[in-house]
Chains A and B, each alone.
Chain A
């Protein structure tokens, strides 16, 4: 069942378009992440759904009903703010109970519901504290409980983890997903952190400059990105300019790099001679006895693997991984690189150049 639907949503501030002609559907119980660099319009979208912003054009549907004219307080959409926004003069208990209280629920019901949700986020033993006495992660858990305790079946998360330490983020994001799945809540989670998006979403919506670039499950987007921007923004990848040298009958493409070396890639729709870009992720580059010649520039320890940075004869920078236990090459060593054919994706070469196509700001 479609829970939320956006139809041709455009939001304009003066001469600036925050979002342009957005169409999106979210199913009930789905965990959708809206991912993109700062300024891409992702926060604008969830504000439009919650009613905090009124779209310049377009319609918002919730549960099949058009809600454009319905004010924030009647939309029943929970919202967790980036800077947390717990009411500083109330203790945790009163914060969480606010949603019930403003509906004039009875005191017993309010307390019971507050207790229930504080228990769910494991903050019940701190219910007498005020927000400034809690850590960032704890405050965010309370904000979550507060949004859910008001009874909403939808939750907008506005970069909820950005202000927290890296470690805290990792733990909290799993907690959030576990909780909302248990309660059957429909979630739109806005973030600029692709690792976060990958690990918690059912579906990722990638945005840039006010439009949706592509959507898909984490697996789909990672393995089969449909644009250079998606390939670069989600995960890491090597982007190499080249041109199509050969094309087999079933579409398998061989490309020629700047120095003339030939590399086999996956299927593509391009023809011989087309200028293209090949995208291959570091984990899909291997060393061999023969292949693209490269010189090792730097070796960085990343924990369970080493990242080797090289400069190839084609003047491209290529990075690859080797496991932490393997023998580590030295700076200046010569290596020969081959790419995993199936995992190499071919894109048309952008006329504005690669760097413009992937620019983040």
Chain B
């Protein structure tokens, strides 16, 4: 079954590089999410894999076979777009049977296969309906069924859940992944939603400005970010600037604005280098009683359901956000003075970005 490899892909549209020396590997049977903000080049990447867009340079390999110049219909990589694109003049059954019909498979066995697929997507009752009679979630399932019935071993999903209600998305995440796994397909799923990527992916590839900046399991990408952007995009992080004061053992000591001192992971950067320390808001702790690196006043308390976010205003440093389980809601009040703390190994040290912090973290 196919493995996908993109090698040094470059694609420009005018002056914009949608793919800028992009390389990526997808393993057999893997569910890979390409995660990044709008405009990062995710869709271009997918279109190059299935052949709808030709790269300016670079190669695409399926199982070590160079398919860069192979026509779309020969690649067996089916795409699921975010607008579903169900053929409006055909009913649900005809839509799903499109693949088998085109490939001229035996009618009887195709019919049986399609019947099984309809059962898997819970759409047996609507086989005679037309696309415009279906709800968003139903259309999504039919689009998936159509892709599954085509016999392709590679499934490319272009923000498939984007057009759905938030609650429906949660339901379909589970269904989508399990169906893909059950059929043993290799999936490349493009999204801007890091929660979706965390929940669905075997591996996540973070993309920005046409380049893959980090690939890893959800845990790796979340807990070991390689750049400040990844640190803040996959799970929010507090970003605190400072200067290296010293480093020994497992711990580095950093001096922040206003004379604050805090600890981070060991780094071999020179003493005096300007750095950015990133701590996930879920790993930042506050306390009314115990000591910490610095103190601040609670400015805002946001109830989010299962979690709460508390924003603390720390003089000279700015706003520090803290994510806590909801049972802590009554522990803190606005204007309380709290100390802020974290374990050093949860705090990452990055070089202070040349273009400035705002540019580095920009998601728009």
Taking Cβ atoms with an 8 Å cutoff, the residues of A that contact B are 37-38, 135-138, 165-168, 170-171, 192-196, 198-199, 218-219, 222, 233-236, 281-283, 300-304, 307, 324, 360-361
Q: In the complex, are the beta carbons of B168 and A360 less than 8 A apart? A: yes
- A218-B305, A360-B137 given as contacts; is B363 within 8 A of A167 (CB)? yes
Q: Hey, which chain A residues are within 8 Å of B233, CB to CB?
A: 167
Q: Hey, which chain A residues are within 8 Å of B329, CB to CB?
A: 219
Q: Which residue of B lies closest to A171 (CB)?
A: B363
Q: Hey, which chain A residues are within 8 Å of B282, CB to CB?
A: 303-304, 324
Q: In the complex, are the beta carbons of A304 and B138 less than 8 A apart? A: no
Cross-interface CB contact of B166 among A167, A195, A218, cutoff 8 Å: A195
Q: In the complex, are the beta carbons of A165 and B363 less than 8 A apart? A: yes
| Distance A37 CA – B136 CA, assembled complex (angstroms) | 11
Residue of B136, B168, B282, B306 most packed against chain A (CB within 10 A): B306
Cβ-based interface call for B165 (8 A): yes
Q: In the complex, are the beta carbons of B167 and A301 less than 8 A apart? A: no
Q: Hey, which chain B residues are within 8 Å of A37, CB to CB?
A: 165, 167-168
Q: Which residue of B lies closest to A307 (CB)?
A: B199
Q: In the complex, are the beta carbons of A192 and B303 less than 8 A apart? A: no
Q: Hey, which chain A residues are within 8 Å of B136, CB to CB?
A: 38, 361
| Distance A234 CA – B51 CA, assembled complex (angstroms) | 41
Q: In the complex, are the beta carbons of B235 and A198 less than 8 A apart? A: no
Q: Which residue of A lies closest to B199 (CB)?
A: A300
Q: In the complex, are the beta carbons of A301 and B222 less than 8 A apart? A: yes
Q: In the complex, are the beta carbons of A222 and B305 less than 8 A apart? A: yes
Q: In the complex, are the beta carbons of A218 and B194 less than 8 A apart? A: no
Q: In the complex, are the beta carbons of B302 and A192 less than 8 A apart? A: no
Q: In the complex, are the beta carbons of A281 and B306 less than 8 A apart? A: yes
Q: Hey, which chain B residues are within 8 Å of A235, CB to CB?
A: 305-306
Nearest 3 interchain pairs by C-beta: A304-B282, A193-B166, A235-B305
Q: In the complex, are the beta carbons of B38 and A136 less than 8 A apart? A: yes
A141 CB → nearest B CB, Å: 10
Q: Hey, which chain B residues are within 8 Å of A307, CB to CB?
A: 199
Taking A38-B135, A303-B198 as given, write out 11 further A-B residue pairs in contact, using a Cβ cutoff of 8 Å, ordered by the A residue number.
Answer: A37-B165, A165-B193, A167-B192, A171-B363, A192-B166, A192-B167, A199-B303, A199-B304, A301-B198, A302-B195, A303-B195
Q: Hey, which chain A residues are within 8 Å of B304, CB to CB?
A: 195, 198-199, 218
Q: In the complex, are the beta carbons of A360 and B364 less than 8 A apart? A: no
Q: Which residue of A lies closest to B282 (CB)?
A: A304
- A sample of 8 cross-chain residue pairs with beta-carbon separation below 8 angstroms, ordered by A number, consists of A138-B364, A192-B165, A219-B329, A234-B305, A281-B306, A283-B325, A300-B199, A361-B165
Q: In the complex, are the beta carbons of B235 and A304 less than 8 A apart? A: yes
Q: In the complex, are the beta carbons of A137 and B306 less than 8 A apart? A: no
B100 CB → nearest A CB, Å: 28
Q: In the complex, are the beta carbons of A360 and B167 less than 8 A apart? A: yes
Q: In the complex, are the beta carbons of B199 and A236 less than 8 A apart? A: no
B55 CB → nearest A CB, Å: 25
B363 CB → nearest A CB, Å: 4
Q: Hey, which chain A residues are within 8 Å of B39, CB to CB?
A: 135
Q: In the complex, are the beta carbons of B171 and A360 less than 8 A apart? A: yes
Interface residues of B in 50-89 (CB under 8 A from A): none
A225 CB → nearest B CB, Å: 11
Q: Which residue of B lies closest to A193 (CB)?
A: B166
| Distance A219 CA – B330 CA, assembled complex (angstroms) | 11
Q: In the complex, are the beta carbons of B302 and A283 less than 8 A apart? A: no
Q: In the complex, are the beta carbons of A166 and B192 less than 8 A apart? A: yes
Q: Mark interface residues in B315-340 (1 if CB within 8 Å of A CB, else 0).
A: 00000000101110100000000000
- A165-B363, A360-B165, A361-B168 given as contacts; is B222 within 8 A of A194 (CB)? no
- A194-B305, A198-B305, A283-B325 given as contacts; is B222 within 8 A of A303 (CB)? yes
Q: Which residue of B lies closest to A304 (CB)?
A: B282
| Distance A222 CA – B327 CA, assembled complex (angstroms) | 12
Q: Which residue of A lies closest to B220 (CB)?
A: A301
Q: Which residue of A lies closest to B173 (CB)?
A: A300
Cβ-based interface call for B270 (8 A): no
Q: Hey, which chain B residues are within 8 Å of A302, CB to CB?
A: 195, 198-199
